[in-house]
A and B are shown apart, each in its own frame.
Chain A
Amino acid sequence: DARVTQTPRHKVTEMGQEVTMRCQPILGHNTVFWYRQTMMQGLELLAYFRNRAPLDDSGMPKDRFSAEMPDATLATLKIQPSEPRDSAVYFCASGLVLLAGGPAKTQYFGPGTRLLVL
């Protein structure tokens, strides 16, 4: 049963520290998404990649957040420096797009990284 995996599952850190979250998409999926979930804002798309290339990161605070895909099996989301307002659950999702401009069949979500910045 293929699943998206995320590490760490929980992270507590102090303000100003660097946080790195990792995601392993489902093998064969060519599109990877990063979401943030908070009580106030709900689920927000931060950034996504297709075939490892960033397609859109307009949802991400540029000054402190960065997202990369070093290879097809790893996506990372980094926050530097972290702030208390970054406390949230960060989800990674992956999907397969077969046709250019077409939709992913669906997005499969990982278990999330619960981040608390003190």
Chain B
Amino acid sequence: AQKVTQAQTEISVVEKEDVTLDCVYETRDTTYYLFWYKQPPSGELVFLIRRNSFDEQNEISGRYSWNFQKSTSSFNFTITASQVVDSAVYFCALSDTKTSYDKVIFGPGTSLSVIP
């Protein structure tokens, strides 16, 4: 069965600290997609990244970086030098051919608080 686990329910860090949000997924498919979304206090879901299962290269975008490891079924997200504006709920998500790519399965989310 497909599943996304985000074991960290809530994280608090002090501004400028680095923080890593964990994501572990389960799928029997060999072709799948992984996503991260951000939901700030305003409520809108903001797309951050999409990664397919054949691309294990790590990605860096500004202060954001993603570590995809198929061996451990993990797709972790690191924010470097966190800022107050990073405070949000972050969702990891998965879609694969078993559920059709359209059915994105979301994890429960990790609530990040960045304290000034």
Contacts and interface: CB of A to CB of B under 8 A. Distances in A.
B33 A91 contact: no
Give the dominant DSSP class at B's interface: loop
B43 interface: yes
A108 B16 CA distance: 29
Contacts of A111: 42-44
A56 interface: yes
B92 to A, nearest CB: 11
A97 B33 CA distance: 14
A101 B99 CA distance: 11
B106 A48 contact: no
A104 B108 contact: no
**Secondary structure of the A contact surface, majority rule:** strand
B83 to A, nearest CB: 22
Contacts, number: 49
A92 to B, nearest CB: 11
B35 interface: yes
Interface string A68-110: 0000000000000000000001010100010001111111111
A97 B95 CA distance: 14
A56 B103 CA distance: 9
A104 B102 contact: yes
B67 to A, nearest CB: 20
Contacts of A97: 102
Interface in B97-116: 100-104, 106-109
Given A42-B106, A43-B91, A103-B33, A109 B44 contact: yes
Nearest to B109: A42
Interface of A: 31, 33, 42-43, 45, 48, 50, 55-56, 89, 91, 93, 97, 101-112, 114
28 contacts: A31-B102, A33-B102, A42-B106, A42-B107, A42-B108, A42-B109, A43-B91, A56-B103, A89-B43, A93-B45, A97-B102, A101-B100, A102-B101, A103-B33, A103-B95, A103-B102, A105-B50, A106-B47, A107-B47, A107-B104, A109-B37, A109-B44, A109-B45, A109-B46, A110-B44, A112-B43, A112-B45, A114-B43
Given A56-B103, A89-B43, 13 more contacts: A31-B102, A42-B107, A42-B109, A43-B106, A48-B102, A55-B102, A93-B45, A97-B102, A103-B101, A106-B35, A109-B46, A112-B43, A112-B44
